[in-house]
Amino acid sequence: MKKIIHQLSPFIKKFKMHVFLNIFFNLLYALFSSLAFIALIPMLNVLFDKTTIVTEAPVWTGIGGLKDYGQDFLNYHVSGYLVDGNAQMALVIVIAIVISTFLLKNIFGYLAMQHVMYLRNGVLTDLRKDMYQKIIQLPLSFYSKRQKGDVMARILGDINEMQNSFFIILELIVREPLTIVFSLALMFTISWELSVFVLCFIPLAGFLISRIGKSLKGNSLKAQQESGKLISIVEESLTGLKIVKSYNAEPIFTNNFTNSADRILRLSNKIGVKNNLAGPVSEVLGIATIAVLLWYGGKLVLIDGSIEGTTFIAFMGLAYAILTPAKAISKASYKVKNGMAAADRVFEILHEDDNMQDNPDAIEFEDFKNNVSINNISFKYDNDLVLKNFSFQVEKGETVALVGQSGSGKSTIANLVTRFYDVNEGNITIDGIDIKNMTKKSLRDLMGLVTQDSILFNDSIKNNILIGKPDATDTEIIEALKIANAWEFVQELPNGIETNVGDAGNNFSGGQKQRLSIARAVLKNPPIMILDEATSALDTESERLVQIALENMMKNRTSIVIAHRLSTIQNADLIVVMKHGEIVEQGAHTELMAKNGTYRRLVDMQSFE
């Protein structure tokens, strides 16, 4: 608990005024909650004709005599009406005091809830913003072994769980304990013997409730982790719905979802059983305490005569005022356990180390002049090397094509040049400067990336292309679409560039999506272009149109072309043939064909001339 509050403190500081006001109004709420029952005593005295007649105005003797002064002051004013035979007016006065006390209690309670609402919503909004910022800043390697659904569950479900349960802690440590303290203080002024009975109840209840809730956090953590898996199953099912349906694999995915949902059900039931025990346990203990109070208090009233019946009724009200917050604390403590489990998962992401942060002295690289050089690099994702002592250089304005069978390490080059991953050995330089010594932003500003997967976002064509250059005009967007061979179909759409592309661009064909991706890269107008198998997933006609778009885009640019289909690289200045992460051949197309080696065999396999 202490650790989580410490982690939340930077977020809470911004809203410290709301914290202060919440505590202040909760204090007043607790005070008037207790006074409300004390206010019943004079009303009951008037009703049962037990009012002590005071004929002289009391004299203030100091704070130590506050209780006696208050009683005598009220009795003095009420006595005047009673002596005059106007008991009804006396009753109106004491009822007004009761109503005013309860009214103030609820006003202060409302104000306290308002401020905790502002605090809770503000903190959790900032927490969600920081978490999203962290999620998009973490390197791709962080996600290579994680389920996207689990990350989504943390930023959505876990933060909501914190909102619903964790911030109840302010009531747990302020409102309810203060209500108990004030009530006990007033009870001791009435009867210390009866108060001792109530005090015996509190630690007993606390012990039993803590025993019940001991394993609650662990079960909550398991349930939240399983929720992440459930979201992953849904996300993967929807993403690959065509495959699921085409292979009649609905039963497999339904079974996976059902098993996960059943695990959540079992965990939720375990948590619910213990949550539901909180109320009955505290209630039973409370009733037992009330029963003892009635027995012992009745003896003091009826036999010993040491306490008035009206005062005993108010005492019972105060005792109930202790049982209610004690019950609330027991329920809240269980909710806080759920919130703590959620907070652990949220802060795990927020405290994740970014192992690819910019160096403190990283430069803002702006003017690309000479070349991109890959120097004896080796790289592995896990244990086995994907690239081994790999080197090549591309001069400004030239095109280098990387070819090879799947798994040869071609796409890894794109990941390393854009610094999605860092090399294990060797280095990559631009104009002789190691890319690790540049800010990632300035490095990526130099580059345009077109991948095999045409990644479009559920927004308009215009906004998707503007990612390349946020301040571009419509004229510039249209020009980019023309270069990308995409304006032909975009201009025929009813809403033109304002047309929504749909989820993942599914309103368009594969070739159309790819040309829109190329338009985005064209609009950015970077000096270095990286094409990662940009035509491998297209049919022949779409490939032809995209190939024309790529050729338009690559004019006067430095390009690294990673190709699965050799049809995209025949005009490259340098072709690098890869196999198992190593270079087996390099040269121009005609030169490599003449060697009659690996490149020639790749060409023949694809009937490419």
Strands 371-380 and 425-430 come out as antiparallel
Q: What is the CATH code of the structural domain delimited by 371-605?
A: 3.40.50.300
pLDDT of amino acid 505: 76
Confidence bin at 224 (pLDDT 50/70/90): low
Per-residue pLDDT tens over the stretch 483-528: 888 888 888 888 889 998 887 777 888 788 888 888 888 888 888 8
Other beta carbons less than 10 A from residue 420's beta carbon: 16
3-state secondary structure of 136: helix
Average confidence (pLDDT) over 86-93: 76
CB 67 within 8 A of CB 189: yes
pLDDT of amino acid 166: 65
Confidence bin at 107 (pLDDT 50/70/90): very high
Q: With 0.75 as the threshold, say if the pTM is over it.
A: no
CB 533 within 8 A of CB 562: yes
CB 332 within 8 A of CB 116: no
Average confidence (pLDDT) over 125-145: 82
Do 2-350 and 371-605 share a fold? no
Closest to 119 in 3D by CA, of 175, 168, 158: 168
Least confident of 28-42, 222-236, 298-312: 222-236
pLDDT of amino acid 111: 94
pLDDT of amino acid 64: 62
Class of domain 2-350: mainly alpha
Q: How much of the chain is in helix, strand and coil states, percent to nearest 5? A: 65, 10, 25
Average confidence (pLDDT) over 407-423: 85
pLDDT at 51 over 70: no
More confident residue, 577 or 68: 577
Q: How many residues would you count in the chain? A: 609
Residues 582-605: b if buried by 16+ CB within 10 A, e if exposed: ebebbeebeebbeeeebbeebbee
Confidence bin at 316 (pLDDT 50/70/90): confident
Query: For residue 203, with 0-12 CB atoms within 10 Å meaning exposed, 13-18 middle and 19 or more buried, which class applies?
Result: exposed
Confidence bin at 206 (pLDDT 50/70/90): low
Domain-by-domain residue ranges, the chain?
2-350, 371-605
pLDDT of amino acid 434: 92
Could you give the maximum distance between any two Cα atoms of the chain, in Å?
Answer: 126
Average confidence (pLDDT) over 352-362: 84
pLDDT of amino acid 540: 58
Q: Within 13 Å of residue 310, how many CA atoms lie on the same side as its CB?
A: 15
pLDDT of amino acid 609: 37
Strands 399-403 and 558-563 come out as parallel
Q: What is the mean pLDDT of the chain?
A: 78
